[in-house]
């Protein structure tokens, strides 16, 4: 039985194991979403740490999520790439889902680049698009599954953190500039976080669209919530792996295989964008 809540010293233990494996002290971390794992192969001079060798780290159970940290360089920037996240729908507690973020915080990570696979709700989106996350709707969080519920450790952040600007404005502007320069088509929008693992009904999709969501997914908001609580600035990019179905008389269905397949096709563009972002990071 894995531990479901953690203390400050649990996070410190994990940090210690990571720091014993590498002398690099990256300030930037990148989380790779479903199907986006191959980005980790781009890390130069990598130290690879299987996350099952890190104390307390939750084990990923989902196909397409490998479970390792790759620490090295991309574009001459020291980075820590997390390949394989865990999700709330796997049965983990919110503290387990966000354990890696606390470890990052205590490692001294200042910037988190978070990626995910998402279903497109905005009718101008196509499968294969990239979307810059401008803001999110943490539906899961506001339904009583917020990662910050429970005793607040003041060393990690304040009791009532502010979420007016969650995705760093300077990083977003920088990313849009980079996308323009590289001729990468970059959509912008609001990411809505659901628990999953059930995909959405068409009625739900129509409702989420009316709420102002542009894409839906099953991750990211818990991690970003904890990152912001811990003072880490965040850049978020969604891969639109499928277009969410908003009426019943359609001939096709979404599947996890499709998410992985389209995710893999988006990797080259996403890598180009992330490389560009890292080159002259503000
Ligand atoms: N819904 C929820 N999560 C997803 C989807 C989707 O359509 N595609 C990729 N992740």
Task: Give catalytic status of residue 56 as yes or no.
Answer: no
Distance 206 CA to ligand 1 centre (A): 15
Closest listed residue to residue 105, CA positions, set 216, 194, 233, 219: 233
pLDDT band at 72 (very low <50, low <70, confident <90, very high): very high
Q: Does any domain span residue 128?
A: yes
Q: What is the pLDDT of residue 133?
A: 98
Is 223 a domain residue? Answer: yes
CATH classification at residue 47: 3.40.50.1580
Q: How much is the average pLDDT of 55-62?
A: 83
Q: Read off the pLDDT of residues 163-184 as tens digits, 9 standing for 90 and up.
A: 999 999 999 999 999 999 999 9
Considering the domain boundaries, does residue 3 fall inside one? Answer: no
Tell me whether residue 175 is in a domain: yes
Q: Which of 30-44, 46-60, 85-99, 219-233 has the lowest mean pLDDT?
A: 30-44
38, 131, 204, 215 from 242: Cα distances, Å: 19, 12, 16, 10
Q: Which domain holds residue 27?
A: 8-279
CA distances from 197 to 15, 91, 200, 209 (A): 30, 10, 9, 20
Q: How confident is the model at residue 266 (pLDDT cuts 50, 70, 90)?
A: confident
Residue owning the nearest CA to atom 2 of ligand 1: 217
Helix (H, G, I), strand (E, B) or coil at 280: coil
Tell me how far apart the alpha carbons of residues 280 and 252 are, in angstroms, rounded to a whole number: 42
Domain presence at residue 2: no
Cα 251 from Cα 151, distance rounded (Å): 48
pLDDT (average), residues 209-220: 97
CA distance 271 to 255: 24
CA of 35 to the centre of ligand 1 (A): 12
169: which strand partners? none
Q: Is 219 annotated as catalytic? A: yes
Q: Residue 208 Cα, ligand 1 centroid: separation in angstroms?
A: 13
**Which of 89, 216, 237, 264 for mutating ligand 1's site (highest number of atoms within 8 Å of CB)?**
216
User: Alpha helix locations (H) across 31-122?
Assistant: 94-97, 99-107
Reported as a pLDDT band with limits 50, 70 and 90, residue 37 is confident
- Identify whether 1 is part of a domain: no
Whether ligand 1 lies within 6 angstroms of the CB of 259 is answered as yes
Determine if ligand 1 sits within 6 Å of the CB of residue 217.
yes
Token duo for residue 281: 């990071």
Question: pTM of the predicted model, to two decimals?
Answer: 0.95
Nearest to 223 by CA among 200, 197, 196, 193: 193
Output the CA–CA distances (angstroms, integers) from residue 183 to 150, 175, 273, in the order listed: 45, 12, 10
Q: Is residue 242 over pLDDT 80?
A: yes
Domains: count for the chain: 1
């Amino acid at each position: 039985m894995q531990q479901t809540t953690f203390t400050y010293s649990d996070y410190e233990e994990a940090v210690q194991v990571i720091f014993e494996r590498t002398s690099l002290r990256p300030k930037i971390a990148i989380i790779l979403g479903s199907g986006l794992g191959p980005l980790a192969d781009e890390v130069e001079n990598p130290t690879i740490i299987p996350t099952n060798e890190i104390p307390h780290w939750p084990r990923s159970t989902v196909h397409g999520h490998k479970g390792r940290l790759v620490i090295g360089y991309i574009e001459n920037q020291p980075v820590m790439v997390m390949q394989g996240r865990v999700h709330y729908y796997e049965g983990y507690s919110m503290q387990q889902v966000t354990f890696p973020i606390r470890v990052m915080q205590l490692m001294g990570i200042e910037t988190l680049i978070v990626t995910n696979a998402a279903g497109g709700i905005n009718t101008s989106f196509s499968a294969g698009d990239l979307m810059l996350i401008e803001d999110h709707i943490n539906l899961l969080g506001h339904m009583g599954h917020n990662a910050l519920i429970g005793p607040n450790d003041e060393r990690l952040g304040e009791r009532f953190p502010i979420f007016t600007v969650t995705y760093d404005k300077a990083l977003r502007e920088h990313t849009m500039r980079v996308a323009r320069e590289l001729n990468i088509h970059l959509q912008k929008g609001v990411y809505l976080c659901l628990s999953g693992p059930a995909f959405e009904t068409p009625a739900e999709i129509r409702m989420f669209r009316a709420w102002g969501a542009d894409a839906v997914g099953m991750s990211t908001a818990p991690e970003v919530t904890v990152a912001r609580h811990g003072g880490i600035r965040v850049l978020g990019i969604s891969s639109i792996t499928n277009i969410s179905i908003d009426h019943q008389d359609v001939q096709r269905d979404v599947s996890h295989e499709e998410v992985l397949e389209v995710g893999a096709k988006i990797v080259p563009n996403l890598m180009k964008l992330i490389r560009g972002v890292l080159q002259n990071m503000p």
